[in-house]
């Protein structure tokens, strides 16, 4: 392993965390009128990232930032708009980046050998089971609390009106998240370099973005499992041997996926002791995307 390559790998991870923190802080200020300190938002980002290892669909980050916003925002629609605006920016960023990645493949800038093995089939049966279970839970909750659906719908509509009135802020949040994704792709490229493999950055970018988009559709906390398998498969598709591909992906995920966990646990424990950042405060939000 090339230890020098750990410097850009760690740098990309740190820059990605800081950029994501800046985006969350901007969303809180622009949509909820909450002027949060960068230090507190960074603490919520780290603690939420640690919680994400247990909760699928980014629920850990949503919980951490929701708890932080609840201390500064009592208006439910504006609180929901802060979370929904960031999610809308993320959806736009994913759409832009996925389209660009497909464009790289279609135009031949990134090529896949014709003899490469086929991609693994998604476990549609498990996905259907997960969706059905979530639907059943939602139906039970609505039946036991008939008014919750109308109140939630009213809150979502109010939050959406706020988000729609600040379209420029959504575009800026998309730019934040595009930058975060590009830094993650650069970190994967550095991990490949560290394990003795060199690929064009555009190739790594296209493979990472497409694989992460597919992995996000699976009900796994922070894509654990599907993302690693998908990245290894994608790298082998472009000619990287299995062992170097697996080594690079393991190193990449150790730094960007597991390194934040102890940091987040320390930050969360310290915040709970001080009671200045109640990261585990419960309570429903109008928008939880």
DSSP string covering the chain: --GGGHHHHHHHHHHHHHHHHHHHHHHHHHHH-----HHHHHHHHHHHHHHHTTSSTTHHHHHHHHHHHHTT---HHHHHHHHHHHHHHHHHHHHHHHHHHHHHHHTTSS---TTSPPPPPP-HHHHHHHHHHHHHHHHHHHHH-HHHHHHHHHHHHHHHHHHHTTHHHHHHHHHHHHHHHHHHHHHHHHHHHHTT----HHHHHHHHHHHHHHHHTSSSGGGTTHHHHHHHHHHHHTT--HHHHHHHHHHHHIIIIITHHHHHHHHHHHHHHHTSS-TT-----S---
Q: Which positions of the chain have pLDDT values less than 50?
A: 116-120, 276-289
157, part of any domain: yes
Question: What per-residue confidence (pLDDT) applies to 286?
Answer: 35
pLDDT of residue 262: 79
Q: 128-157, pLDDT tens digit by residue?
A: 676 677 677 767 766 776 665 555 565 556
Structure confidence at residue 142 (pLDDT): 63
Q: What's the domain range around 69?
A: 3-274
Domain-located, residue 288: no
Residue 156, domain member (yes or no)? yes
Tell whether 282 is covered by a domain: no
Report pLDDT digits (tens) over 218-238: 666 555 677 888 899 889 888
Q: What is the pTM of this model?
A: 0.73
Residue 284 inside a domain? The answer is no
In this predicted model, what pLDDT tens digit does every residue of 268-289 receive, in sequence order?
A: 666 656 554 443 333 333 333 3
pLDDT value for 150: 57
206 occurs within a structural domain:
yes
pLDDT value for 149: 54
| 287 domain residue, yes or no | no
Could you tell me if residue 193 is inside a domain?
yes
Chain segment 83-94, per-residue pLDDT in tens: 778 888 888 888
pLDDT value at residue 277: 42
Q: Phi, psi (5° rounding) for residue 209?
A: -65, -45
Count up the domains in the chain and report the number: 1
């Amino acid at each position: 392993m090339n230890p020098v390559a750990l410097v850009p790998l760690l740098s990309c991870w740190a820059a990605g965390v800081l950029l994501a923190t800046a985006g969350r802080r901007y969303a809180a200020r622009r949509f909820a009128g909450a002027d949060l300190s960068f230090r507190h938002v960074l603490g919520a980002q780290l603690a939420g990232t640690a919680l994400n290892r247990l909760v699928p669909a980014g629920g850990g980050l949503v919980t951490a930032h929701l708890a932080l916003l609840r201390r500064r925002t009592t208006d439910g629609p504006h609180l929901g708009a802060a979370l929904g605006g960031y999610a809308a920016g993320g959806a736009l960023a994913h759409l832009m980046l996925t389209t660009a990645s497909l464009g790289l493949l279609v135009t031949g800038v990134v090529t896949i050998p014709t003899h490469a093995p086929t991609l693994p089939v998604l476990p549609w049966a498990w996905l259907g089971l997960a969706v059905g279970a979530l639907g059943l839970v939602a139906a039970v909750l609505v039946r036991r609390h008939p008014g919750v659906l109308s109140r939630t719908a009213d809150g979502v509509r109010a939050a959406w009106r706020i988000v729609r009135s600040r379209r420029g802020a959504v575009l800026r949040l998309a730019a934040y998240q595009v930058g975060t994704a590009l830094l993650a792709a650069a970190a994967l490229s550095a991990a490949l370099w560290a394990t003795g493999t060199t690929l064009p950055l555009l190739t790594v970018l296209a493979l990472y973005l497409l694989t992460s988009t597919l992995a996000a559709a699976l009900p796994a906390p922070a894509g654990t499992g599907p993302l690693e398998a998908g990245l290894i498969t994608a790298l082998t598709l472009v000619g990287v041997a299995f062992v170097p591909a697996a080594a690079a992906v393991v190193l990449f995920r150790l730094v960007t996926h597991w390194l934040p966990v102890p940091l987040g646990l320390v930050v969360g424990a310290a915040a709970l002791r001080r009671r200045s950042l109640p990261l585990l405060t419960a309570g429903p939000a109008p928008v939880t995307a």
